[in-house]
Structure 1
Amino acid sequence: MIAKADFIEGMAKGLAVLESFDTERQRLNATLAAQRAGITRAAARRHLLTLTHLGYLESDGSYFWLTPKVLRFSGSYLASARLPRVIQPTLNRLAAQTQESFSAVVLDGDEVVIVARSGVYGAPTRLLAYGLHLGARLPAHATSTGRVLLAAMGPAELSAWLQARTLARLTPQTTVQASALRRLLKQVREDDFCLATEEHELGVLALAVPLRNMQGRTVAALNVVASTQQREASALQQGLLPLLMEAAREVRALL
């Protein structure tokens, strides 16, 4: 924990305002930003104006939206972080071998974030509703990667995670009961992989395995996504799970 004297409240509020922009709310006024950031409207307005002055937002006088300058943060992370650089050649090789799309994903609060991604070689790319682009954020409870990463938590950490969140229903197949998710995560730990079928998006299958370092700690998840129109769940698991597991073993010494 940080000491109170070392905590810069203004910076925390400014970042909360910046983080309040997402795919659901791409444009915010001061009232909406205040609600999302949990601060007063007057404070939200000052932070919005400051961020606009610094070039991170644009405005029409009432509403504000992000500018490309915010990508400086993600660009710096991708250029300096070890995981994306280490895993990218493996993702590219798997994609070239199978003509499927592979990603490396980490957990960030409620969501998982794609930090490295392959292209689809020799096959047209299918754009999913929420997108599978680099930096995309997806709900952890409804994704194969999220479940792999949640399954790696200790009992107390997982209980705290579940108690602090409401599991949103994204499709009729989404697991939204904490007790049911616990059972699924127990199975993921036993299997050492996760297959999610149409829980995040209808028509989509996703298969994931943990990426562990040499100390045995799960640092990320590796997954492949396919369409139910092209593959059945059993065929995806049978055909690609061995490749995912072998890839995870290959990169372990590098993580």
Structure 2
Amino acid sequence: MPIAHADYIAGMAKGLAVLESFDTQRQRLNATLAAERAGLTRAAARRHLLTLAHLGYLETDGSWFWLAPKVLRFSGSYLASARLPRAIQPTLNRLAGLTGYSFSAVVLDGDQVVIVARSGSALLAYGLHLGARLPAHATSTGRVLLAAKSRSDFDAWMRGRELPRLTAHTTCDAKAFRALIAAVRQQDFCAAGEEHELGVHALAVPLRDMEGRTVAALNVVSTAQGLDPGALQKQMLPLLLEAAREARALL
């Protein structure tokens, strides 16, 4: 949301930028790397790292820093208080129990999607844990959520954006990607095969509230040991659509 300049706390924004610099690609950072990732000077990044370590959000050996368990307070509070994860969890559990596959509820956050609720399953692809962040352009859920945007908002999201290639199957061409989103918007579901991770196929549908607003995406994932893409869509799409209809009153 917009904020008045006088209300903006630059120091807090910089500290959060340093905290967000840690991810699965860079689990440990020194001051130089944190500065590059957060867009700060090395001296400023070092002060923020030391402060975060002092507060218990980071651990350090004196030169390198990494996330401490205390950062889970934020996600734990969200998952305990947010309506969406609590409302959709029984549906995810029921679907998983019925099929043996892994189901997730996912929201859009900038150029990534975030898993906010998921079922357990033996057929779970690597990295699809609760809280995982995945590139929106290469995932079935991301495409469903992008298709839910107005055309002007989607154009703004696409403006000047590169679509990184993650596998040989990733759609990276902007024109082709726009056509793909248009198709998702028309058919109201998305199937994605091996675009984010080789051997992983996924199918997603929008989760809408009673006013018709798309608040999340519901998806199912199949690995190389599970259903092929055609069978996944044939067997799982009716279940996903029915689950989304049933969940509407809860959202």
Query: TM-score interval w.r.t. the shorter chain?
Result: over 0.9
Secondary structure of 1:242's counterpart equals helix
- The aligned residue for residue 176 of structure 2 is 180
Give 1:1-255 correspondences, 5 Å limit.
1-120=2-121, 124-128=122-126, 131-255=127-251
2:56 & 2:25 partners in 1: Cα distance?
Answer: 22
1:164 & 1:62 partners in 2: Cα distance?
Answer: 37
* Change in CA separation of 1:236 and 1:81 when aligned onto 2, cut-off 3 Å: same
Superposition CA RMSD, Å: 0.9
Q: Which amino acid in structure 1 is aligned with residue 141 of structure 2?
A: T
Verify the 8 A CA contact 2:123 2:223 in the aligned structure 1.
no
Secondary structure of 2:115's counterpart equals strand
2:124 & 2:146 partners in 1: Cα distance?
Answer: 27
Q: Which amino acid in structure 2 is aligned with residue 165 of structure 1?
A: R
1:45 & 1:80 partners in 2: Cα distance?
Answer: 33
Unaligned 5+ segments in structure 1 are none
Unaligned 5+ segments in structure 2 are none
1:44 Cα deviation after fit: 0.4
The count of aligned residue pairs is 250
1:224 Cα deviation after fit: 0.1
1:75-101 C-alpha deviation (Å, 9 max, x unpaired) = 000000000000000000000000000
1:127 Cα deviation after fit: 4.1
Verify the 8 A CA contact 2:125 2:200 in the aligned structure 1.
no
Identity %: 74
Per mean C-alpha deviation after superposition, the further-off stretch among 138-147 and 162-171 is 162-171
Secondary structure of 2:28's counterpart equals coil
Q: Which amino acid in structure 2 is aligned with residue 214 of structure 1?
A: M
Output the TM-score relative to the length of structure 2: 0.98
Output the TM-score relative to the length of structure 1: 0.96
* Change in CA separation of 1:102 and 1:108 when aligned onto 2, cut-off 3 Å: same
1:189 & 1:115 partners in 2: Cα distance?
Answer: 23
Runs of 4+ in structure 1 off by over 6 angstroms are none
1:76 & 1:40 partners in 2: Cα distance?
Answer: 32
